[in-house]
Amino acid sequence: MKKIIHFSKAYIPCVILSCAIIVLGIVSVFTRGINYGIDFKPGLIQEVRIVPPVISLTYEGAANVTVETASSGVTLVVTGSSENDTIHFYYGQNPTIDAMVSSLNTVDGVKATALVSGSESAIGMFTNSEVSAVLSNTPFSLFRASEKPLATVDQVRDSLSGISDISVKETGTGSDVAFQIRAGDDGKDKEIRNTRKTQIYNALSDKFGKENIAVVKTDFIGSSFSQKLVLGSIVLVVLTLGLICLYASVRFKWDLAIAAVLAIIHDALIMVSFVAFTQMEFSSITVAAILTIIGYSINDTVVVLDRIRENIKVSGIKSFKEIWDLSQSEMLSRTIITTVTTLLAVLSLFIFTTGSMKDFALALMVGMISGVYSTIYIAGSFACLCRRNWKPSDEVKQTV
């Protein structure tokens, strides 16, 4: 006979551990707050880097030349001339500032000038999104991550202290450090977006120099849309839980149905606690991760409950704890294989992506581990508690 793992022996400490994590998570939500993404917090959010420019570009000619940057290199888009063209300057072929400047200077009318040592790396350049990317006689700057940024997060906060309802958070480490700036929208000013952008840009320019400011990304969401999105997300999660509860109630007895629902509620609360602990940005992507994990967790729980239905008539079993331990032991290899293979795919997303997709992958990994744990220990402890006086004769004419 296959070895039976006595999971039920750890029910009490595991329930205590889960309750402690969830309580600490709730406390963290009220004390530290949740790092709401732009989806849920109305206002302006900008990613800003404060570093010196490395290359200056100007253009004299009849065409329009637009600069674009990507992870692979720099691109010049030439339009309005007899022959429109897109010219790529890849980092692989232009790894240094000198090499990139020489290549850029091959375009008619374009003049590139190195502002730092030509032997420095050119990889990872970006532009200031607040400045027109169309080249002209006015110098246009290309920036690159610097190991010695010109500002700390405290200095940035100090420079923006005169602006109301604003917060600053440091993201990245080392040469990839950037500053996430949030400015709230109270819904009173219709031009709040432009007002906030101007206030932030001017304050940073006064403190660190206009030439050293690079606004990498800007997002804005209005207060009315944000409120609708928050309400819609709450309704969506509650409705999903309600439908799953209905499905479980139809398929299983009330106590096992509640056990399954408690398991997925546990997973959702664990993920919220994780978001609060790590201050990960809570956005619509996070809501999608929670809904995904709810579906993953209930699937795992239903598989175990189906096996319980099969084992309920096994002779020689005297308690419901024995049935649960037997069913979990029989399904353990399936659970491990399914979880590990899925985790490998999610781990690839976590390693090879950035931004919100990386957060999505991380949330999924935490949720998948929690889903397996909750099926065994949270659903199991509640079901065994409800059926602590269960006897084999109780199931002679009934099904689970």
Tokens of 326: 């037997």
Question: How far is the C-alpha of 219 from the C-alpha of 51, rounded, in Å?
Answer: 21
- Report yes or no: 392 and 317 within 8 Å, Cβ to Cβ: yes
The H-or-E segment that residue 53 falls in is strand 53-59
- Report yes or no: 104 and 57 within 8 Å, Cβ to Cβ: yes
Tokens of 137: 């006689």
Question: How far is the C-alpha of 381 from the C-alpha of 329, rounded, in Å?
Answer: 15
Closest CA to 360 of 341, 346, 342: 346
Res 339: pLDDT: 87
- Report yes or no: 373 and 11 within 8 Å, Cβ to Cβ: no
Question: How far is the C-alpha of 83 from the C-alpha of 65, rounded, in Å?
Answer: 12
Check residue 342 and report its DSSP letter: H
Q: What size, in residues, is the chain?
A: 400
- Report yes or no: 372 and 343 within 8 Å, Cβ to Cβ: no
Res 20: pLDDT: 93
Tokens of 266: 């546990």
Question: How far is the C-alpha of 382 from the C-alpha of 388, rounded, in Å?
Answer: 10
Domain ranges in the chain are: 7-39+225-395, 43-221
CA distances from 79 to 67, 136, 314 (A): 12, 14, 77
Indicate the angle between helix axes 223-251 and 254-278, nearest 10 degrees.
150
Res 291: pLDDT: 83
- DSSP lists the bridge partners of residue 69 as 74
The H-or-E segment that residue 115 falls in is none
How many Cβ atoms sit within 10 Å of the Cβ of residue 186? Answer: 11
Residues 6+ apart with CB under 8 A from 173: none
Give, for all 400 residues of the chain, the pLDDT tens digit. Answer: 467 888 888 888 988 999 999 999 999 988 888 777 766 777 788 889 998 999 999 999 888 999 999 889 999 999 876 678 899 999 999 999 999 999 999 998 999 999 988 899 999 899 998 888 999 999 999 998 876 777 888 898 898 888 877 888 887 777 778 888 888 776 666 667 778 888 888 899 888 888 889 888 887 776 555 567 667 777 877 887 788 778 777 777 778 888 888 888 898 889 889 988 888 878 778 888 888 888 888 888 888 888 887 777 765 666 778 888 888 888 888 888 888 998 898 898 888 877 778 888 888 899 889 888 888 888 888 888 877 776 655 554 444 5
Tokens of 134: 């169309």
Question: How far is the C-alpha of 213 from the C-alpha of 156, rounded, in Å?
Answer: 11
Tokens of 105: 């200077």
How many Cβ atoms sit within 10 Å of the Cβ of residue 161? Answer: 11
CATH code for the structural domain at 7-39+225-395: 1.20.1640.10
- DSSP lists the bridge partners of residue 74 as 69, 89
Backbone angles phi and psi of 165, in degrees to 5: 50, 55
Question: How far is the C-alpha of 246 from the C-alpha of 261, rounded, in Å?
Answer: 10
CA dihedral sign, ordered 117, 119, 120, 123: positive
Res 17: pLDDT: 92
217: three-class secondary structure by DSSP: strand
| Contacts of range 357-361, beta carbons closer than 8 Å, 24 or more positions apart | 357/285, 359/280, 359/281, 359/283, 359/285, 359/286, 360/285, 360/286, 360/288, 360/289
CB-count burial class (<10 Å; 0-12, 13-18, 19+) for 140? buried
Question: How far is the C-alpha of 186 from the C-alpha of 259, rounded, in Å?
Answer: 43
- Report yes or no: 293 and 272 within 8 Å, Cβ to Cβ: no
Scan for tokens 């659970």, then name that residue: 335
CA dihedral sign, ordered 250, 252, 255, 259: negative
Scan for tokens 């022996």, then name that residue: 9
